[in-house]
Amino acid sequence: MLSFFSPVAYVTYVFRHIVLLLIVSALTACGGGDGDSYGGGDPAQVTYTYQVPATLNDGWEVGHLDDHSIDTDLITSMMNGIVGFQYTGIDSISIARNNTLVLNQVFRTQLDEFDSWTNNTRLDMHILHSTSKSFTSALVGIAIDQGFISDTDAFFYELFAYASYDNWDTRKANMTLDDALTMRFGILWDEWSEPYGAADNSLTVLTANNDDYAKALLDLPIDADPGTNFVYNTAGSVAIGQALENSVGVPMADFAAVHLFAPLQIVDVRWGETPTGLPNGGSGLFLSTRDMAKFGQLFINSGVWNGEQVISADWITRSVQPYTTLTWTDTSGYGYQWWIDRFFVNGQQVDSYSTRGYGGQYIFCVPSLQLVVTFTGSNYGNDGAGQSFEMMQQYILPAML
């Protein structure tokens, strides 16, 4: 079985720079290529040249930035910042506007250790880490739409068939699926105070000492009433995946393939698994960047992809409203495994919502601008993952307004 969290072999900036500067330049030449891959050139002269994304018959209509009221100069400046190392650890970026893919660029030049989770060999296929959580939530919505789960007020522990639980507390019986989706379990948990992999990190302790992550989570003590305190919990998202699989009666990966990925015309999907063979719905999904953008477009379009209602509009609305209010920079709340964002551009507040994954895996959805932006990255163990917010603030949003 593939491990949940293995020791991370971090890619240093220096090594990344060396690799990028050794490959043949494709961006300084006029024409050629399909706009979906990157090559570096002379380190003193490397520049970005825009190309329309490739037409792949994958459901995306492709188009030029200029045709969708986008400031091409601002986008080019941002991309020059990436190829010129102002921004580092950016593996890919896609932009869709008005249901049209207008930019898709892959910068990654080598695989990393996470690719071994699924034996991935494609540079454009990337581990999504915690962005996986939003897909797991969407699958729950589909299961509710189809009647496999009554609704989010279903008692969470009743979605499992374990004979007994450690540290039983009557409050566990009252925990709902809504509490789980909004990360208000009330379970004693802390995966943020210490780095992933540290001996005192709750996720590290759970995955190092258990095979069944859902059961191990449900066995933990309660330290707050469910539905009250927001505490980020990756194992909780894995448990939601187990509850989903129990409810639909087929393997989670099969349910996802039929009811989410096939309608989105996504043909290459990979899941890292827990030791019990459950897809890691907390951090194990692999997709390409342009396929990530389809998921964002699905939400922008109220659950519709190319004319097909994949998820109910009601579920989309419920997923991206804040159940917990947060006063962090760029963050105003948390929904059903989605972050609620806010940006300020030229004195104007721009509301959005996003998925967020360790290392820089993002899907930003901005309904008012009919905009979806996706990033993948390799900024593990450093502050570089925040660069995507900076690029949204300084380049992408201003280019649309």
- Predicted confidence (pLDDT) per residue in 175-223, tens digit: 999 999 999 999 999 999 999 889 999 999 999 999 999 999 999 999 9
Q: What is the tens place of the pLDDT at every residue in 197-206?
A: 899 999 999 9
Please check whether residue 62 lies inside any domain of the structure: yes
> Which residue, 180, 214, 248, sits at the end of a domain?
248
At residue 314's C-alpha, the angle toward residues 154 and 396, to 5°, is 120
Does 345 lie in the same domain as 287? yes
Residue 169's pLDDT is 97
Average pLDDT over residues 351-366: 97
Instruction: Single out the residue in 202, 220, 248 at which a domain terminates.
Output: 248
d(CA 380, CA 377): 8
pLDDT tier for residue 383 given thresholds of 50, 70 and 90: confident
Q: Do 63 and 212 fall into the same domain? A: no
Structural domain contains residue 355: yes
Q: Does pLDDT of 11 surpass 80?
A: no
Q: Please say whether the dihedral angle defined by the alpha carbons of residues 168, 171, 173 and 177, taken in this order, is positive or negative.
A: negative
pLDDT tens, position by position, 314-324: 999 999 999 99
**Is residue 287 a part of any domain in this protein?**
yes
**Nearest C-alpha neighbor of 11 from the set 23, 20, 1:** 20
| Pair (103, 185) in one structural domain | no
Residues 334 and 193 placed together within one structural domain of the fold: no
Among 189, 218, 248, identify where a domain stops: 248
If asked whether residues 366 and 321 sit together in one domain, one would say: yes
- Say yes or no to pLDDT of 17 above 80: no
CATH of the domain at 380: 3.40.710.10
Q: Between residues 230 and 45, which one has the greater pLDDT?
A: 230
> In the block, which residue shows the tokens 């300020």?
344
What is the token pair recorded at 193? 């105070």
Task: Please count the structural domains in the chain.
Answer: 2
| Confidence tier at 6 by pLDDT (50, 70, 90) | very low
pLDDT above 70 for 241: yes
In this structure, the answer to whether residues 280 and 395 fall within a common structural domain is yes
CA distance 88 to 92: 11
Average pLDDT over residues 37-46: 54
For residues 396 and 268, membership in a common domain is answered with yes
One domain for residues 278 and 373: yes
Lowest average pLDDT, out of 29-43, 111-125, 126-140, goes to 29-43
Q: Which residue from 140, 130, 176, 174 is spatially nearest to 259, judged by alpha carbons?
A: 140
7 inside domain: no
Q: In this structure, are 284 and 241 located in the same domain? A: no
Parent domain of 337: 13-132+264-400
pLDDT > 70 fraction of the chain, expressed in percent and rounded: 89
Instruction: Determine, yes or no, domain membership for 2.
Output: no
For residue 37, the one-letter residue type is: S
Considering the domain boundaries, does residue 343 fall inside one? yes
- Are 363 and 275 members of one domain? yes
13: pLDDT strictly greater than 60: no
Query: 112 pLDDT exceeds 80?
Result: yes
Rounded Cα distance between 310 and 321, Å, is: 19
Q: What is the pLDDT confidence band of residue 37, given thresholds at 50, 70 and 90?
A: low
In a domain, 192, yes or no: yes
Q: Assess whether 243 and 273 both reside in one domain.
A: no
On whether both 235 and 274 belong to a single domain, the answer is no
Residue 339 located in a structural domain: yes
Q: How far apart are CA 295 and CA 317, in angstroms?
A: 15
